[in-house]
Structure 1
Amino acid sequence: MKIAIIVREETMQRCTCKGCLNAFFQKKDAFSRYEDDLTLVTFTHDGGDIDRKIEMMIKNGVDAVHLSSCMRGKSANYEPLAKQLSEYFDVVGYTHGPEEGKEPKTLIINKADKMF
């Protein structure tokens, strides 16, 4: 399974992304749901040309996109971005920490059966 992780651009200015990467490589938290081998294809932030990033993720065969836990908690663009990504990929709305967030936001969107 090919995975992309998108983090919040503002957070990336001060974060080492250890939580996201640790969860991915140890297959814990949001990544414990996968039984297959995982390949991290993309690790990027939500700024810049998101359409170009989506195009490259499609080209590289990404199956699922994880929006980082900081995106869910702090990004006003979280749900619109999740909806946009769900046109092409399964979307999981966190990477590490508890599955439940402080705010009731859509957590998992399978591109086949969207929850919006």
Structure 2
Amino acid sequence: MNIAIMVCKKLTSECSGSWCFKAFAEKDKSFAIYKSEIETNLCGFFHCNGCGSNLDKELEYKVTQLKKVGVKTVHISKCIEVECDRYNEVRNFLLRNDFNIIDGTH
């Protein structure tokens, strides 16, 4: 199974992603759902292009690339839920683009 993590652009200047990667590597927190999977590949770690961006336009290329590598599931990091006023818009955009959504990472 190929998955990706979406994080908040506002926090990328502060966050190293370490806790997301640690939880993924240990199949802990929201990644515990993959414990029975033989192979789970983290194929993308990306963010939107900012609070004022046009999601459809700005994420189109990223979505295309995720699909090309077979990503079916996107984990929306907790930082987006906490920091993003457009959380539901982001979530709905990903759903419209045929991704399974998991809320949270660590």
Aligned to 2:100: 90
Q: Is 1:67 equivalent to 2:69 in the alignment?
A: no
SS in 1 for 2:71: coil
Q: Distance in 2 between matches of 1:44 and 1:76?
A: 18
Q: Which has the higher contact order (CA 8 A, sep 6+)?
A: 2
One-letter amino acid matched to 2:105 = T
Q: CA RMSD in A?
A: 1.2
1:12 aligns to 2:20 (yes or no): no
CA distance in 2: counterparts of 1:69 and 1:26, whole angstroms: 18
Going by fraction, where is helix more abundant, 1 or 2?
A: 2
Q: TM-score if structure 1 supplies the norm length?
A: 0.78
Q: Secondary structure at the match of 1:86?
A: helix
Query: Which secondary structure does the structure 2 equivalent of 1:79 belong to?
Result: helix
Q: Tell me which residue corresponds to 2:43.
A: 41
Question: Moved runs in structure 1, 4+ residues, more than 6 A?
Answer: none
AA matched with 2:20: C
**Percent of matched pairs sharing the same residue:** 30
Q: Match for residue 2 of structure 2?
A: 2
Aligned to 2:53: none
User: Structure 2: which amino acid aligns with 1:5?
Assistant: I
TM-score (norm: length of structure 2) = 0.85
Q: What residue number does 1:57 align with? A: 66
Q: Which residue of 2 aligns with 1:80?
A: 89
Aligned to 1:25: 25
Take 2:75 and 2:84, find their aligned partners in 1: how far apart are those partners? 14
